[in-house]
Amino acid sequence: MAQVGPATTPGVRTDASTGMVEWSAVFAGAVTAAALSFVLLTFGSAIGLSATSPWPGSGMSAKTIASLAIFWAMAQQIGALMVGGYIAGRMRSRWAGASRDDVEFRDGLHGALVWAVGIIIGAALILSAAIGTAKLGADAAGKAASAASSNSDQIAYFADSLLRPAPRANAAPGQGQGATRIEPVPAETRAELARIMSRSLAAGSLSDNDRSSLATIVAQRTGVSQADAEKRVTDVYAETTRVTREAADKARYAAILTGFVTAASLILSLGAAWWAAMRGGHHRDNSIPARFSFAPPRRVS
């Protein structure tokens, strides 16, 4: 009579020589988490755009929208990875003979792997999108570089403010303060002023030679006296420095906040994926239906 091997239960592993990690469950959870995160981000972006307005005094304030964006970015990532971790824990085969603590650890580890693979998938998608955007915008950026550098930045604006003509002292009544008729300033002169301002801002100070050169150009092109030209150069340089430093500080604070929010979101989502995978394993072992609600689950006999 042939010997009958030990009975096996579907979904239960008895061969300890096989790998402890079931990558099929991990990838299923990670792909689901990545897709759900994309959907939630798209939904949140649409809601955010609908709450903004280009008109002053309309729509939510910038601080409110930024706070909601930070909250939604963290909430969607944590929620998506919780779902992915639960799927991995629920789909993983149960090991026969393993202790309860060991089973929970292995389930939680599968949730952590879902988190890791999901982060890699998200980073790959972001990188591919950035590369595609860079390739598409390379030509346009190259064509617009000269125009942007001379007309759109703060340096060009303050350089233009140096060349504003002096007001006429004997303006006719009803005409307001007009301007002395001055020949148009060549583009080379404006570019020279912008270069001097940019170099001085990078160096952190305006040298006496540069100050004198700027004042001479301003006096010649605007009709003001040398003393008034030097005062204008000093005032414009101080204002340019203030605006530039404020913009740099805002960019630095935004980068710091983004880093802290990203790190906190990743840590919290790791814990959420680990916990959800353990809950998925618990539901798997006790044949509890998956119900995404706050109602107490019912066991299936």
Whole-number Cα distances in Å, 121 to 38, 161, 232, 271: 11, 49, 55, 19
Highest-confidence segment of 31-40, 156-165, 196-205? 31-40
* High-pLDDT (> 90) share of the chain, %: 16
Sign of CA dihedral 153, 158, 163, 167: positive
- Residue 169 pLDDT greater than 70, yes or no: no
Task: Say how many CA atoms lie within 13 Å of 58 toward its Cβ.
Answer: 7
**DSSP letters along 51-65, please?**
H--SSTT-S--HHHH
pLDDT, average across residues 173-191: 59
- Residue 59 pLDDT greater than 70, yes or no: no
In the prediction, which pLDDT does 300 show?
Answer: 47
- Label residue 298 by pLDDT band (50, 70, 90): low
H/E element, 111: helix 100-151
Q: Look at 257-261, 282-286, 297-301 and tell me which has the smallest mean pLDDT.
A: 297-301
Q: What is the CA radius of gyration of the chain?
A: 32
3 state DSSP class of 167: strand
Q: At what angle do helices 154-162 and 100-151 cross, to 10 degrees?
A: 30
Residues in contact with 65: Cβ distance below 8 Å, sequence separation at least 6, in sequence order: 48, 51, 52
- Residue 2 pLDDT greater than 70, yes or no: no
Q: Look at 27-31, 86-90, 251-255 and tell me which has the smallest mean pLDDT.
A: 251-255
In the prediction, which pLDDT does 82 show?
Answer: 93
Q: Strand 12-13 vs strand 94-95: parallel, antiparallel, or unpaired?
A: parallel
pLDDT, average across residues 3-20: 50
Task: Say how many CA atoms lie within 13 Å of 134 toward its Cβ.
Answer: 6
- Label residue 30 by pLDDT band (50, 70, 90): very high
The two tokens of residue 201 are 């801002």
In the prediction, which pLDDT does 143 show?
Answer: 42
Q: What is the pLDDT of residues 212-243, one digit of tens each?
A: 888 888 887 777 888 888 888 888 888 888 88
- Residue 160 pLDDT greater than 80, yes or no: no
pLDDT, average across residues 16-25: 72
In the prediction, which pLDDT does 268 show?
Answer: 93
* High-pLDDT (> 70) share of the chain, %: 71
3 state DSSP class of 170: coil
- Residue 190 pLDDT greater than 80, yes or no: no
Residue 210: what residue type? D
In the prediction, which pLDDT does 29 show?
Answer: 93
In the prediction, which pLDDT does 84 show?
Answer: 93
- Residue 85 pLDDT greater than 90, yes or no: yes
Query: Is pTM beyond 0.75 here?
Result: no
In the prediction, which pLDDT does 261 show?
Answer: 85
The mean pLDDT value of the chain amounts to: 75
- Residue 130 pLDDT greater than 70, yes or no: no
H/E element, 255: helix 226-285
> Which residues are 167's β-sheet partners?
179
Question: Which is nearest to 219 in space by CA: 166, 270, 271, 172?
Answer: 166
Residues in contact with 261: Cβ distance below 8 Å, sequence separation at least 6, in sequence order: 70, 73, 74
